[in-house]
Amino acid sequence: MLKLSQEVLEFREGTWNRKIDVRDFVTLNVRPYYGDDSFLAGATERTKELWQICLAAMKEERERNGCRAIDTETISGITSHGPGYINKDLEVIVGLQTNELLKRAMKPFGGFRVVEGAVAEKGQQVTQRVKEIFDYTKDHNNAVFAAYDDEIRSYRSNGILTGLPDNYARGRIIGDYRRLALYGIDRLIELKEEDKRLVDGEMTEHKIRLREEITDQIIALKDIKKMGAMYGLDLARPAQNAREAVQWVYMAYLAAVKEQDGAAMSLGNVSSFLDIYIERDLNEGLITEEEAQEFIDQFVMKLRMVRHLRPEAYDEIFGGDPTWVTEAIGGQFQDGRTKVTKTSFRFLQTLYNLGASPEPNLTVLWSQDLPEGFKKFCAQVSIDTSSIQYENDDLMRLVRGSDDYGIACCVSYQELGKRIQFFGARVNLPKTLLMALNNGREENSGQPLLEGIPSLESDYLDYEEVMSNFKKSMVEVARVYSKTMNIIHYMHDKYYYEKAQLAFVDSDPGIDMAYGIAGISIIADSLSAIKYGKVKAIRNEEGLTVDFKVEGEYPKFGNDDERVDSIARDITKFFSQELAKHKCYKNAFSTLSLLTITSNVMYGKKTGATPDGRKAGEAFAPGANPMHGRDEHGAIASLNSVAKLDYRDAQDGISNTFSIVPKSLGSDREGQMENLVGLLDAYFGLNAHHLNVNVLNRETLMDAYEHPENYPQLTIRVSGYAVNFIRLSKAHQLEVIARTFHERM
């Protein structure tokens, strides 16, 4: 047993004193809050002044084509950049990724060429020294392609498999950043050393790898201590008060985003942990509510300033420049108490104090049992800012088992410090269907990708024939998808290991392989059209389908109609089970998401006409949403259809984005809040998994489309996270405007 500093011992003791167990610490010491939002404080003058500096810097960033500055000389790492400040005198929580606000750093181990390209796109050049380093160094991207086979390459280049993390960092892994505050670096190192000692005996591949990984983690921990010292912080020891707890947690996260540029790098579930320190300091009269809020405001401000260097193609795929700093708020303990604390409120309050924002990606873990005051405040914040999303805490706790989890990326459960996730991007399922209709050929190029798919000769599509071909295609695609993932993650571990993040995770964690599907509603509608209507294939001279003529009415996904909703559910189950048949690298557990992030526009562009009547190039619906405008029976019928998708078949998450005009939620503010709470309770009561909530007028978006300069902070929820509307491409802005808005009056 290790000695703890005097200060920490004031907390209620438990297993967390004997080993790393943050959950135990939180469970024993947290003070659930059942009241309303009346205690909350506004932003302090210091915070306001700092935020003005940030707003000005972001304006400059937009004016400079989305990138304010780049450090082209330094390879970013935990200690690569000296201390950086927005304005040192005003900051109570310090730390920037580089020495300058919004200056982007190179993290080239995911793929040097991508970084080189991104720098060149901004009219700059990577310095010779860095270039030379990569003459001698292999990166993740080189390594993956060394192992890819022809089949994977052609699936990739034809867009069957998309968004693969094979040329940049995979992200998704959440370090349990609370550990730094609770234990301090020195103790964490001791425990890692102990873990490493225990990995002995016959040296299997697994053990060798583990010993190397733990060593890397220890190196990272030592570096984090040095990084803290640059800011005058003694991270060797645990945090001793509220401000330090916030600062320590941020330092742990900052190390992660200095070392890695993962597509999504979540924060976890820190609010109620921090509340324990804040409550103690408040009770002892050491701080005021204004100061408590100031810590959180400034912490959140820092999270809003996180940037990665991205190529333009990346921004195009993801619709802007997202970082997915996802923070999960609320939820319940397995013992029946609520995890909601005053600091859960304080995090949401930042959306008022600093204005709406896509980042951090605030995610409310919704339980039927959440305190009413908190439910109501969430609804109010949604109505006012459209900046938060909701996930079903009751469902995730039941199916996945832990009550101490964060949300990785957009919507994915990840137990903190115990499990990690291998990001698997996604399969374009409509393209898979089109291969099934074109005897295994890609619909645009005609390139044969699948063998053994009989060609369909008749003009009218036969449901049984199509299903038989489609299942064969899915079996093949799952096989290729699985081997691709294994290669990617093997190489990522080898060449771009997340040592800073994994330093805050148990040494041999459980792993989820996070596969994904795009386009489930197109699949459901296409198969429904073939089954219940008549669909005529229109083929070109090469026999490739170029269009479909749909005759007669058919049930469409999004109308609570079992005939088609069951198709969506069954296909998800089938594909999920196919994937699970394949062995994963590091014995990861196979999971699946129905999620598109913002890539639904890009997927649409690359996908030919589909049998549901969708034209070539038309956008997909985001996530598991019904297709635009096809949910004709109003919001609830639409929600009910999505709720029927079974979370057990898609444990990586089922994303649904809901847009409603304020007036449609109710005639007055009180009624609007009440109805939104009722809607969330009911939707999640049906075992639905996730809901983005936008409460916006279409006119507002149209105006922002025309006059972006007037809407610097307009935030909207898209599939799984939030974006700054004006930073979306114009095509994407129009797609969002075209989405089903529920606006019956």
Partner 1 sequence: MIKDGSLVKQEVAQLNAPDSEQLRVHSIESFGTHDGPGIRMVVFVQGCQFRCLYCANPDTMDVKGGHFLDLDEIVARAVKQKPYFRDKGGVTVSGGEPLLQRAILKKLFDRLHDENINTVLDSNGRVIDQQAKDLLDVTDLLMLDVKHFNNEWHKKLTGLSNVSTFKIAEYRESTGKPMWLRYVLVPGWSDQEEHLHELGRHFKDYKSIERVEILPYHQLGVHKWEALGMEYKLKDVSPPNAETLENAASIFRKYFREVRVN
Distance CA 32, CA 341 (A): 5
Distance CA 679, CA 656 (A): 14
Q: Residue 65: which residues within 8 A CB-CB, separation 6 or more? A: 122
Q: How far is the CB of 351 from partner 1 (least distance, A)?
A: 24
Residue with token string 């609010």: 271
Q: How far is the CB of 479 from partner 1 (least distance, A)?
A: 38
Residues 548/536, Cβ–Cβ less than 8 Å: yes
Q: How far is the CB of 706 from partner 1 (least distance, A)?
A: 22
Helices 205-230 & 178-198 angle (0-180, nearest 10): 140
Catalytic residues: 409-410
Residues 453/440, Cβ–Cβ less than 8 Å: yes
Residue with token string 């805050």: 504
Binding mask 539-578 for partner 1 (x = CB under 8 A): ---------------------x------------------
Q: Pick the stretch among 89-97, 112-120, 237-245, 737-745 that binds partner 1 (CB under 8 A).
A: 737-745
C-alpha 34: how far from chain center: 29
Termini Cα distance of the chain: 65
Q: For partner 1, which is the closer residue by CB, 210 or 637? A: 637
Q: How far is the CB of 660 from partner 1 (least distance, A)?
A: 8
Distance CA 530, CA 70 (A): 52
Q: How far is the CB of 670 from partner 1 (least distance, A)?
A: 11
Question: Smallest Cα–Cα separation from 387: which of 414, 353, 417?
Answer: 353
Q: How far is the CB of 644 from partner 1 (least distance, A)?
A: 10
Residues 575-614 touching partner 1, rule: CB under 8 A, are none
Distance CA 345, CA 330 (A): 9
Q: Is 394 in the site for partner 1 (CB under 8 A)?
A: no
Q: For partner 1, which is the closer residue by CB, 3 or 744? A: 744
Q: What tokens does 62 get?
A: 């937009």
Residues 476-515 touching partner 1, rule: CB under 8 A, are none
Q: In whole angstroms, how large is the CA radius of gyration of the chain?
A: 25
Q: For partner 1, which is the closer residue by CB, 236 or 636? A: 636
Q: For partner 1, which is the closer residue by CB, 543 or 662? A: 662
Q: What tokens does 127 get?
A: 């310095």
Q: Residue 720: which residues within 8 A CB-CB, separation 6 or more? A: 389, 409, 410, 411, 595, 597, 623, 653, 655, 690, 692
Residues 448-467 touching partner 1, rule: CB under 8 A, are none
Distance CA 613, CA 626 (A): 14
Q: For partner 1, which is the closer residue by CB, 323 or 386? A: 386
Q: For partner 1, which is the closer residue by CB, 318 or 658? A: 658
Q: For partner 1, which is the closer residue by CB, 496 or 683? A: 683
Q: How far is the CB of 161 from partner 1 (least distance, A)?
A: 37
Q: How far is the CB of 371 from partner 1 (least distance, A)?
A: 17
Q: DSSP H helical segments within 305-452, as ranges?
A: 312-318, 342-353, 372-385, 393-400, 429-437
Q: How far is the CB of 695 from partner 1 (least distance, A)?
A: 12
Rule CB under 8 A: choose which of 547, 634, 703, 712 binds partner 1: 634
Quick check: helix, strand or coil at residue 14?
coil
H or E segment to which residue 481 belongs: helix 463-495
At 620, which amino acid appears?
F
Q: Pick the stretch among 97-105, 355-363, 597-605, 636-644 that binds partner 1 (CB under 8 A).
A: 636-644
Q: For partner 1, which is the closer residue by CB, 582 or 698? A: 698
Q: For partner 1, which is the closer residue by CB, 636 or 731? A: 636
The DSSP secondary structure of 697-710, one letter per residue, reads -HHHHHHHHH-GGG
Residue with token string 């659930």: 32
Distance CA 656, CA 643 (A): 9
Binding residue count for partner 1, defined by CB under 8 A: 27
Give bridge partners of residue 581 from the DSSP assignment.
Answer: none
Q: For partner 1, which is the closer residue by CB, 339 or 569? A: 569
Q: For partner 1, which is the closer residue by CB, 454 or 678? A: 678
Distance CA 82, CA 96 (A): 9
Omega within 30 of 0 (cis) for the link into 360: yes
Q: How far is the CB of 685 from partner 1 (least distance, A)?
A: 5
Q: How far is the CB of 691 from partner 1 (least distance, A)?
A: 13
Rule CB under 8 A: choose which of 633, 697, 713, 734 binds partner 1: 633
Question: CB atoms < 10 A from the CB of 706, how many?
Answer: 9
Rule CB under 8 A: choose which of 637, 698, 713, 729 binds partner 1: 637
Q: For partner 1, which is the closer residue by CB, 62 or 742? A: 742
Question: Smallest Cα–Cα separation from 17: which of 36, 34, 1, 33?
Answer: 1
Q: How far is the CB of 612 from partner 1 (least distance, A)?
A: 22
Rule CB under 8 A: choose which of 230, 282, 616, 636 binds partner 1: 636
Q: How far is the CB of 633 from partner 1 (least distance, A)?
A: 5
Rule CB under 8 A: choose which of 114, 252, 594, 635 binds partner 1: 635
Q: Is 32 in the site for partner 1 (CB under 8 A)?
A: no
Question: Smallest Cα–Cα separation from 426: which of 581, 614, 612, 572?
Answer: 572
Q: Residue 712: which residues within 8 A CB-CB, separation 6 or more? A: 55, 58, 59, 62, 724, 726
Residues 638-697 touching partner 1, rule: CB under 8 A, are 638, 640, 664-668, 671-672, 674-675, 678-679, 681-683, 685-686
The DSSP code for 583 is P
Q: Is 745 in the site for partner 1 (CB under 8 A)?
A: yes
Residues 366/401, Cβ–Cβ less than 8 Å: no
Dihedral of alpha carbons 128, 125, 598, 569, sign = negative
H or E segment to which residue 412 belongs: strand 412-415
Helices 520-532 & 562-580 angle (0-180, nearest 10): 130
Question: Smallest Cα–Cα separation from 256: which of 420, 505, 500?
Answer: 500
Q: For partner 1, which is the closer residue by CB, 416 or 635? A: 635
Binding residues vs partner 1 (CB under 8 A): 560, 633-638, 640, 664-668, 671-672, 674-675, 678-679, 681-683, 685-686, 742, 744-745
